[in-house]
Structure 1
Amino acid sequence: MRIRILRNPACLGALAALSLSPLTTGLASAATMAAEPAPACLVLNQSWRYAQAGNGCGVATAVKIVYQDGAEGACIVVRPDETPTIGEGYLGHHGRALYLALCQ
């Protein structure tokens, strides 16, 4: 029975399309979640418990954290020379923070 299914070109094409659909869906969703990285004067610090953003830019800037699982934190305005807590640490639900992103 198994050999007959694989010999039929229509069944083989359908099987290939079904097996590849999760891959293409994952790539499309990851591409839409990308956010513009913040400038280098904004520094991300993450410990096991908290994530903080240091602002050395000289102007208030709205940022959010982008985590390794694609999740994004809340948009928070960080004033110059401040380092507020803006998210969870790497033991939180989303794991490690990848970078700070600009937001509005």
Structure 2
Amino acid sequence: MLEGFEEVSDRDFYEKVMASETPSVVLFADPNSPATEDFVKLLKPYIEQYGDKVKFYYMDVTKNTSFEDFGVFNFPSAMYFRDTMELDRHDFVPPPEMVEQAIKRLLRLS
């Protein structure tokens, strides 16, 4: 499990992410990939800063297939959800400014 993230699976994705009233960031990743570590390090400050307002999840792509429904085929990738809708996505390790912008959009701060 990735520190700071709650694991989400195919079974509970809709309930935890889509149907939740709390905005969510979902990291679709292979937990054993070095690129995943880079993305997690990038998201850590945002978990600390916004963790009380935004849920941070990860989906292990080696055990689940829901990512295919969203057209996610590059890993790691992050998707940003609010009110059952995808508001943003990063299918690459983005610069911090892009993550900040996506989270502020989730929270309607920008």
What TM-score do you get using the length of structure 1 for normalisation? 0.28
